[in-house]
Structure 1
Amino acid sequence: MTDTLLVAGTASHVGKSTVVAGLCRLLADAGVDVAPFKAQNMSNNARAVVADDGWGEIGVSQYVQARAAGINPTTDLNPVLLKPRGDTESQLVIDGEAVGHYDTGSYYEDHWERAREAAADAHARLAAAHDVIVAEGAGSIAEINLHERDLANVETARFADATVLLLGDIERGGVFASLYGTIELMPADLRERVSGTVITKFRGDPSLLDAGVTELESLTDIPVVGILPYEDPGLPAEDSVDLPATDTRAVQGDDEYPPGQTVTIGVPRLPHISNFTDMEPLRDTPGVRVAYLPLEADGLAVDAVVVPGTKNTVDDLLALREAGFDEHLTAFGGPIVGICGGYQMLGQAITNASVESTAAHERVSGLGLLPVETRFEADKQVKQTTVSVDGTGPIAGATGTATGYEIHMGRTRRLSGAAEPLDEGSTATESVLGTYLHGLFENHTVRDAFLDVVFEHAGKQRPTETTQDTSPYDAAATLVARIDDDWLATELGYTQPVSDA
């Protein structure tokens, strides 16, 4: 049985994250002690998790996969995280702690060896604590220009002594060429590790692929062990590639209800948007649509606005102002919520701006919608937290507590008396709320109160919310259970349960 399985791909977005999550849930349900792993991730969607000295951050996919596996997420699941903040520069996070901002060249020249050591050590700790590791690769495993420094694929396969499962996305076209070409371009020692291939995102009758499958297996001597249909289990998106381009308006969510029972929540499509998974609980609520708005939009035409997090608050604020979106926000009469970087933008000013940005000025005026001022500091606040809820403004009526996480560099202070509906780290007026609490709308009481306010302000009737019958983890497990039974048993020690029917 395989101790570490590396789920690799022919390209980005071929379904690696979903397959890893599904395998983790499948194995966990069968009583296998399993853990996910991704040596190096690049994403601005992160979660605060347990670290050796308190809290650290990892990519959202590894957090989700840990939930699927039924284990407590820690920084060992994603020891190296790169958070892009520009075209060539990223913040480097090792073992959950921000190390600094580096361009591509300086990362590989000065920090890659440290990153590799951290990844190998994290995997060793996981392997000692769990029976099976299901690792996720990144991008394509056949990037021949990166083979000497491919931490998530090549190096992981080697230091983990991993078996490789290779995924190819048929939705993109040319799946047989992609799988064959990828196998041919892999380093020879990794090619020998590939125990199976899987075709993902197929629409139609799988028998239509029989001739191609037979030919591919003959050419590679590697079995095609699964053809997975095009199904979305509803897992959180990993990065902004899942979002529309910055100049495109795109609407996600419920379109089953008439206009009188549907509201639209606008989200400015910031250039460095991060943690936009905060919007997904809204998108998945009956009668709610989430519209990502280009900053050059001619007006808002929405019922509420959520200003999301960003990896570069100052530059995105300047971009928002340059496009004229600030005028739309200040003239907007409906509910507005700012989360993390969005909260900072809604204030009066941001000071010490050079800590986070290349802006020419140390003080940058905010949107002026909340009586707060933010100062950037070099140290980063990362933690999970539970806050008391005293709902007012856009979340009027919410009570109890709310849980979530904070990942930010700025420190925000109130300039005048204002409500604190979510303890410290939040400010509200009659129509505007700012908070550092990511995961805000995962709390049903807060989400419910916010949507009640939005529907009431829009003069619409809110439809009854229904309960989802199947969790996204179970849906992912059902999807990957279509992989060949013999392969699952041989490589992962998993045997399909016998149906009672």
Structure 2
Amino acid sequence: MTSSGGPAADTILVAGTASHVGKSTVAAGICRLLADRGVSVAPFKAQNMSNNARATPGGEIGVSQYVQARSARVPPTTDHNPVLLKPRGDGESQLVVDGEAVGHFAAGAYYDVHWDDALTAAREAHARLAADHDVIVAEGAGSIAEINLHDRDLANVETARFADADVLLVADIERGGVFASLVGTLKLVPEDIRERVVGAVITKFRGDESLLAPGLAAFEERTGVPILGVLPYDDPSLPEEDSMALPAVGERAVRGADDGVSESESVTVAVPRLPRISNFTDLQPLAAVPGVRVAYVPLSDSLDDADAVVLPGSKNTVDDLLALREAGFGDALSGFDGPIVGLCGGYQLLGEEIRNADVEGTSGRERVEGFGLLPVTTTFSTEKTVERVERRLRGVGPLAGANGSVEGYEIHMGDSELAGEAAQPFEGSGAATDRVLGTYLHDLFANAAARDAFVRNISEYAGTEPPTTLGDDRPSPYDRAASLLATHVDSDPLPVEW
């Protein structure tokens, strides 16, 4: 729908009837399909709300846009996600604009004070991408039909307008009511946005598609909007964008249980379901190993059934530490004698003390005691570390036997220093004892050397045979997402075809 004087590139806005309907997968699949056809394509999400972020040379962006950039075969940049909101509790989020943290704000303050700057940043980022690429695949946020936000819906309504975008509507049939969701969304969006909708895609379908045919025909007749495809329930294993993919706080869920390995031959990695969990995508490579169960557990659970524990990242380490302590998790952890790994915020939790805690937490405390399993002291400051890193791995503690280099990224407030004797698992960073390890390195288990060593050590502790681990030759999730789209979605109404 590019008009004279408008953006240089065609933009497809992948919008949803709700959160977690498959927008990210559809957008990633389109990016890979077009890139494979030689089309210059880039992802875009004007405003994202997620605590799963990745580091780029210019700062941090939401994980989905990082993934989509790799799917599009372009280097991830902050232009792909110019505005990022990272919830930290008490109704506040950290605002990140063009990759840089601006501050912590309540929703009202954001919309009253920073909205115009956010809109400008999004417009300018899209313009730069449009000048350099032929197609922009934009991802919306949540539902495009939130009528209370239509005057300030940056990721959906505003993007459709300033990008002159064709809108592809995505709805999830797994939850039920898919046709009501689609029809209701079309009724509630602003009229000018309704006119931009070129088609709809239904995701997560199980069963006989012929039984769905009467509903598809009735929907098209009622709305005039074609159903371009029905995607079967198939997870290409792209990193999850937000905590909706996890169990609610206080509930238990296991990932990696459908791999054909019996429970007696498998090992279980317990992960406390922190209220402010972030970058839990660090655990997905472990859950992909046959015979490894990643169990997200309530904070009050015992660790009797665990063979290892991983403390994940946290957007608010201090408040999550207080929640863990109140639930008795510290006692359970001190009584656990298996391998323990802390990642980023989890590393800070394992130390002896957190100083300047009021910089990170909302409790007003200046100092908070950690779990004391590593001789480390963390001091928070307002400066934020955001960088891609490559480090030489030293096989110590839970990673004993590993060697080689590992790649990943660091996103954290504050720094941790050794306050006693401990090995360092990476050159000049981290801390480890014979069974406990802490590091700021995200994506640690995406590296085969670290992942395989950890799984071998868990198996030795559990007294089981090491399961068959997966190396870096796993099927590409980008190609799997592309195959879903190529097989099941008609691209004719879109500005580009595959």
Pairwise same-fold verdict (TM > 0.5): yes
SS in 1 for 2:105: strand
Percent identity over the alignment is 64
Q: Contact 2:452–2:469 (CA<8 Å) still a contact in 1? A: no
Superimposed CA distance per residue, residues 224-274 of structure 1 (whole angstroms, 9 cap, x where no aligned partner): 111111111111111111101111111111452234431100101111000
Q: 1:79 — aligned with what?
A: 82
- Which runs of 5 or more residues in structure 1 are unaligned? 496-501
**SS where residue 245 of structure 1 aligns?**
coil
Which of 47, 52, 64 is matched with 1:40 structurally?
47
1:484, distance to aligned residue in structure 2 (A): 4.5
**Whole-angstrom distance in 2 between the partners of 1:403 and 1:154:** 37
**Equivalence for 1:470:** 475
1:443 Cα deviation (Å)? 0.8
Write the distance in 1 (CA, Å) between the matches of 2:112 and 2:469.
Answer: 53
Deviates more, 1:421-430 or 1:287-296: 421-430
Are 1:30 and 1:494, in contact at CA under 8 Å, matched by a contact in 2? no
Task: Please tell me whether residue 122 in structure 1 is matched to residue 122 in structure 2.
Answer: no
- Assess, with a 3 A threshold, how the Cα gap between structure 1 residues 390 and 466 changes in structure 2: closer, same or farther: closer
- Distance (Å, rounded) in 1 between the aligned partners of 2:487 and 2:15: 18
Q: Given that residues 230 and 489 in structure 2 are in contact (C-alpha distance below 8 angstroms), is that contact kept between their aligned partners in structure 1?
A: no
What per-residue deviation string (whole Å, max 9, x for no partner) do you get for residues 184-209 of structure 1? 11111111101111111111222222
Q: Does 1:458 align with 2:462?
A: yes
Task: Note if 1:14 corresponds to 2:21.
Answer: yes
Matched residue, 1:499: none
Q: 1:193 aligns with which of 192, 196, 203?
A: 196
- CA distance in 2 between partners of 1:356 and 1:214 (Å): 53
* Within-5 A mapping of 1:63-462: 63-254=66-257, 255-462=259-466
Q: How far apart in 2 are the matches of 1:327 and 1:41?
A: 37
Q: Which ranges of structure 2 fall in alignment gaps of 5 or more residues?
A: 3-9
Deviation at residue 413 of structure 1 after TM alignment: 0.7
Letter in 1 for 2:38: G
SS class of match (2:108): helix
Q: Indicate the residue corresponding to 2:6 in structure 1.
A: none
SS at match of 1:377: strand
- Deviations for 1:307-336, whole angstroms, at most 9, x for unmatched residues? 000000000001000000000111110010
**Secondary structure class of the residue paired with 1:481:** helix
1:96 & 1:236 partners in 2: Cα distance?
20
Q: CA deviation at 1:489?
A: 4.1
> So what's the TM-score if we normalise by structure 2?
0.96
Could you list the structure 1 runs, at least 4 aligned residues long, displaced by more than 4 angstroms after superposition.
Answer: 466-469
Quickly say closer, same or farther: Cα 1:484–1:376, change in 2 above 3 A: closer
Inter-CA distance 453–76: structure 2 relative to 1 (3 Å threshold): same
* Cross-structure match for 1:24: 31
Instruction: Tell me the distance in 2 between the aligned counterparts of 1:202 and 1:253.
Output: 21
SS at match of 1:172: coil
Q: How many residues align?
A: 489
- Given that 1:79 and 1:96 are in contact with CA atoms closer than 8 Å, whether structure 2 keeps it comes out as yes
Distance 2:385 2:474 in 1: 36
User: How far did 1:470 drift?
Assistant: 2.7
1:266/1:300 contact within 8 Å kept: no
| Stretch deviating more after TM superposition (210-219 or 473-482) | 210-219
Across the aligned residues of Structure 1 and Structure 2, the Cα RMSD in angstroms comes to 1.4
Task: For 1:207 and 1:325, locate their aligned partners in 2 and report how far apart those are by CA, in whole Å.
Answer: 50
TM-score (norm 1): 0.95
Deviation at 1:210, TM superposition (A): 2.1
